Amino acid sequence: MTEKDSREDILKELFNIGVGQAAGTLSDIIDKKIVLNVPSVKILDIGPGRRELEKFLSQVASGAVMVSIMSFNHQLQGVVSLIFPAEKMHRFIDLCLHEERTETTMGFTDIDYDTIKEVGNIVLNAIIGELSNMIRIPVTYTLPEVCVLDHARAEHFMSDYEYRLILIIMITFDIEGTEIEGAIVVNMTLKSLEDILNAIDGVFHGR
Amino acid sequence: MVKILIVDDSKFAQKVTASLIERSLDDVRFDFASDGEEGVNKFRSGHPDFLIVDLLMPKLRGQDLIKKVKEMDRQAKIIVVSADVQTRVEDEVSKMGVLSFINKPLNEEKVKEIADIIRNDVR
């Protein structure tokens, strides 16, 4: 294993820890056990990243997707998105609110959007915030946003030409027999990745 | 009667926070604000006994709200409930004289901590 592979391996592990924390917080919100499969973390340049994202969107989320997005800046700069198939979100929101919905509509109410915004805020904070703590680089967040995309494309999750790097974390979890497949996509600058990898070196060499 | 002002831009978080605290404390009355600016105004007009404050909010961040409220009343009792898990943020906010910094989501243990702070202060 080269030094680059080794550092990427550590980075993947840090994201795995963040996803584990996020699953714990989700479990607290819905007050039910969440069975989380080991997430697959890929760190890709913009071209392969776009192809991988398109593959995910066509295979797992071919219908509408519900997306929670936050930007982070300061020393690290990027955008992080939480993507789930919209069809599974009604059940998930009901679990969060501890309510059963009476009407069977495909649309989403203001309360639905608000709930997913808050859940996205907590989950994305767990992932980016824990990474920030581990590597000791602070981040500042923008307000989270939520939207439903009927025909999502990879471009929706790539915010800026300068953000050349894509981290895709595929997650599958099971809540009482309902399996939900989703993805967390982090689009950031190469400099941010370099800073993270350098910080990892520093932390693991005791600097 | 203890008056608690919950300042959070999420109605979901407002509802969860209020209902969990209500289970642990008797004789409480809640008021709500959906951003930092509204929070400052409601603090000024309503004189709540405690504020429960989120950090990442529109119009005025939680940190700025705390600063403004503390300028009005150094003794204002503020508990921060935020999704931000960064230790630096917790350190920064703790130095502003808040009673506690608690990470979302709330659970029974965390709500007990809030209830104990309020109960002990009211005694």
Residue with more model confidence, B106 or B48:
B48
Nearest 5°: phi and psi at B83? -80, -15
Are A12 and A134 a contacting pair, CB within 8 Å? no
Structure pTM? 0.86
CATH number at residue A75: 3.40.1550.10
Residue with more model confidence, A62 or B95:
B95
Summarised one tens digit per residue, pLDDT across range A123-164 is 999 889 988 988 889 999 999 999 999 888 888 888 766 788
Position A30 confidence tier, pLDDT thresholds 50, 70, 90 = confident
Q: Give the pLDDT confidence score for residue A46 in this predicted structure.
A: 87
What DSSP assignment string belongs to chain B? -EEEEEE-S-HHHHHHHHHHHHHH-SSEEEEEESSHHHHHHHHHHH--SEEEE-SS-SSS-HHHHHHHHHHH-TT--EEEEES---HHHHHHHHTTT-SEEEESSP-HHHHHHHHHHHHHHH-
Which one of A32, A98, A121, A137 makes the best mutation probe of the B interface by having the most chain B beta carbons within 10 Å?
A121
- The pLDDT of B112-118, averaged and rounded, is 96
The domain locations on chain B are: 2-122
Q: Give the pLDDT confidence score for residue B112 in this predicted structure.
A: 95
Position B21 confidence tier, pLDDT thresholds 50, 70, 90 = very high
- Give me the domain span that covers residue A24: 3-204
Q: How far apart are CA A111 and CA A204, in angstroms?
A: 44
Position B60 confidence tier, pLDDT thresholds 50, 70, 90 = very high
Task: Count structural domains, chain A.
Answer: 1
Buried b (16+ CB within 10 A) or exposed e, A14-29: bbbebbebbbebbbbb
- In A, which residues are within 8 Å of B104 by CB distance? 25, 121-122
Residue with more model confidence, B50 or A45:
B50
Q: Give the pLDDT confidence score for residue A164 in this predicted structure.
A: 82
Q: Give the pLDDT confidence score for residue A206 in this predicted structure.
A: 63
Architecture label for domain B2-122: 3-Layer(aba) Sandwich (3.40)
Q: Given B13, B58, B84, which is nearest A118 (Cβ)?
A: B13
Q: Give the pLDDT confidence score for residue A4 in this predicted structure.
A: 64
Average per-residue pLDDT in chain A? Answer: 85
| Nearest CA distance, B58 vs chain A (angstrom) | 7
Residue appearing with tokens 């919905």: A101
Are A84 and A171 a contacting pair, CB within 8 Å? no
Position A204 confidence tier, pLDDT thresholds 50, 70, 90 = low
Nearest 5°: phi and psi at A161? -60, -30
